[in-house]
Amino acid sequence: MLATKPYLTQVDVQKILDAANAHAVKNNWSVTIAVCDDGGHMLGLIRRDGCAPISAYIAQEKARTAAMGRRESRVYEEIINNGRTSFLSAPHLQGMLEGGVNIDVNGCTIGAVGVSGVKSTEDAAIAKAGIAAIL
């Protein structure tokens, strides 16, 4: 028998984007919100009006890093800030800044949300608000 695992549906992705966007609107934050699957493939993205174009790239990379690493992207930022700069050469991890949050269902990472545009702690709060809509 083959193993099965939960996954993000398009309905889930839209709920995440809507809730994260509502959190950003409530705080008047111009951000980009990206949602990806467990392999780092983009499933949805919102770039709010007034947000810097580069944030669209940063948000996607934060999401990919959190999904493929199966942990929040801030963990990598902390590793580097604590002196392990050689970690910057880790393959396929380009969003090693706080603001990427993996989506964990029953111990299985099914995707992640990455946000960019405001302070990193605020980016993470937006991502968590989005994830809360489906958990």
Q: How far is CA 7 from CA 40, 104, 105, 114, in A?
A: 13, 10, 9, 17
The token pair at 96 is 């090693």
Task: Assess if residue 99 is contained within a domain.
Answer: yes
For 81-101, how does the pLDDT look when each residue is reduced to its tens digit (9 = 90+)?
999 998 888 888 888 999 999
Q: Is the pLDDT of residue 41 over 90?
A: yes
Q: Which domain holds residue 94?
A: 10-132
First CA to last CA across the chain, in angstroms?
28
Structurally, the chain folds into a number of domains equal to 1
For 26-35, how does the pLDDT look when each residue is reduced to its tens digit (9 = 90+)?
999 999 999 9
pLDDT of amino acid 19: 98
Q: Per-residue confidence at 8, pLDDT binned at 50, 70, 90?
A: very high
Backbone dihedral angles phi then psi of residue 45, each to the nearest 5 degrees: -155, 140
Task: Assess if residue 2 is contained within a domain.
Answer: no
Q: CATH number of the domain at 24, please.
A: 3.30.450.150
